[in-house]
Amino acid sequence: MTDFQRNPIGVKKNYFSQQNAHEQGNATDPTLLIRPTFILRLAFCITRVARALASIVVTIIGLLLVTFMIGRVIPVDPVLAVVGDQASPESYAAARAEMGLDQPLLVQVGMYFGKFGRGDLGTSTLTRRPIVEDIALYFPATLELATLATLFGIILGIPAGVYSAARRGRLPDHVIRIISLFGYSMPTFWLGMIGLLVLYAKLGWIAGPGRIDILYDGMVPTVTRLLLVDSLLAGNFRAFASACAHIALPSAILGYFSMAYIARMTRSFMIEQLTQDHIVAARAKGLSEGRVVWRHALGNAAVPLVTVVALSYGSLLEGSVLTETVFAWPGLGLYLTNALLSADMNAVLGATVVIGLVFLGLNLVTDAIYSRIDPRAK
């Protein structure tokens, strides 16, 4: 007799217990639990990266097309900028052929994209150097100035905006609003000239125009092209003090402008957040006003504030033309000004492409910060 014939109930219990154990073992098998989740996460990451890359490629193509069309519709002949007005027709035709301007428009677009892919933005007719080298020479000065100004705006602007919103309608609110309105409305070049006249010419508290005293010019080894950083790396503290004295006033003026913008936007975001239901609930629970304002309200207002800070930083990185001109600051703004005055459109368009890439990079960084401070962005 078989086991089933001898004890059918026991065999059935044993069979079903083995089946349950097998099913439970499969349910607790980590490979079966982790593998589908891992595959889904990997697919999501690949999709997200693919979308980001596609967005970047489309943006760059659009940027290049816009700058190409600008270079073709402006009433400036790039050939004359190279050969001059007194060139012979043969020289003009040879230069035009060398620049590829005698080719069909689609061929010119392909050549323009090909040069960009090789990192070639053309040659400046003013400096006779590749534009990439000019950007590498001038952009660090703007980066240094814009970074200090943005830090100044963040450190003072966000607390001022939060305090103004928390004291809405009271005297501190009115004072901060007036200061912000004045800083946002006054021309930066006018503030720069007044600051030079009073603080430099009359009182002698700060250094004059330029990036460093002529005594230390060329004495700091070039490592990062950021003068403050390079002087510290070289251990030349006198040059560092001179660079700080020169950058103090222009960074303070641009920082005041940035602070005014950030403070106004912070106040607006905070007023909106302080009227939300979760703030009312937090106050009803007995939380302190400081915790309600600085943790709950400011925490929710942080997401739009990131965009505001990024836009402010980007506007300064594109070159504060008037401020850099007043202070003779050798940055991207001064480079663009000289290029425009000299009709050097290669330099103008090359710098425009770089500025577009800067804003593209800031957008990518902003999106990454979103996913960190706001779980919903993930």
Residue 111 lies in a domain: yes
Q: Which residue intervals of the chain are DSSP H helices?
A: 3-6, 8-27, 30-73, 78-83, 89-98, 105-117, 131-166, 171-185, 188-195, 227-234, 237-274, 277-284, 289-291, 298-317, 321-326, 332-341, 345-373
Residues 284 and 325 in one domain: yes
Encode pLDDT of 297-334 as tens digits: 888 888 889 888 988 898 888 767 788 888 888 888 88
Higher pLDDT, 246 or 371: 246
Residues 188 and 310 in one domain: yes
Report pLDDT for 178.
92
Residues 85 and 44 in one domain: no
CB of 237 within 8 A of CB of 231? yes
Residues of the chain above pLDDT 70, percent: 87
Strand partners of residue 130: 123
Higher pLDDT, 252 or 5: 252
Q: Is the dihedral of CA 188, 193, 196, 198 positive or negative?
A: negative
Encode pLDDT of 224-243 as tens digits: 888 899 999 988 899 899 99
Residues 204 and 95 in one domain: no
User: At CA 29, angle to CA 24 and CA 34, rounded to 5?
Assistant: 135
Q: What is the rounded CA–CA span in Å between residue 280 and residue 295?
A: 14
Residue 69 lies in a domain: no
Backbone angles phi, psi at 302, to 5 degrees: -70, -30
Residues 28 and 110 in one domain: no
Residue 289 to residues 275, 277, 280, 350: CA-CA distances in angstroms? 14, 15, 11, 51
Residues 194 and 289 in one domain: yes
Residues 31 and 110 in one domain: no
Residue 126 lies in a domain: no
Residue 308 lies in a domain: yes
Residues 243 and 364 in one domain: yes
Residue 342: both structure tokens together: 């000299």
Report pLDDT for 22.
47
Report pLDDT for 4.
43
151 pLDDT exceeds 90? yes
Residue 152 to residues 146, 195, 247, 262, 271: CA-CA distances in angstroms? 10, 17, 13, 11, 23
Question: If you average pLDDT over residues 49-58, what whole number do you get?
Answer: 82
Higher pLDDT, 199 or 33: 199
Question: Torsion angle of alpha carbons 102, 105, 110, 112, nearest 10°?
Answer: 70
Residues 26 and 48 in one domain: yes
Report pLDDT for 326.
86
For 27-41, 50-64, 246-260, which range has the lowest pLDDT when averaged over its residues?
27-41
Under the banding of pLDDT at 50, 70 and 90, the label for residue 282 is confident
Task: Report the domain count for the chain.
Answer: 3
Tell me what the pLDDT averaged over the chain comes to: 81
Report pLDDT for 25.
47
140 pLDDT exceeds 60? yes
Report pLDDT for 11.
44
Residues 233 and 88 in one domain: no
CATH number at residue 318: 1.10.3720.10
Encode pLDDT of 84-119 as tens digits: 777 778 777 887 787 777 778 888 888 888 888 888
Residue 68 lies in a domain: no
Give the burial string for 96-106 (b: 16+ CB within 10 Å, else e): beebeeeeeee
Report pLDDT for 375.
64
Residues 174 and 262 in one domain: yes
148 pLDDT exceeds 90? yes
**What's CA 305's distance to the chain center, in Å?**
14
Residues 218 and 318 in one domain: yes
CB of 267 within 8 A of CB of 165? yes
Residue 378: both structure tokens together: 């993930």
Higher pLDDT, 102 or 148: 148
Residue 335 lies in a domain: yes
**What's CA 144's distance to the chain center, in Å?**
13
Encode pLDDT of 116-133 as tens digits: 888 888 888 778 888 888
Question: If you average pLDDT over residues 262-272, what whole number do you get?
Answer: 91
Q: Which of 89, 117, 145 is the last residue of a domain?
A: 117
Domain hosting 16: range is: 3-56
Report pLDDT for 26.
47
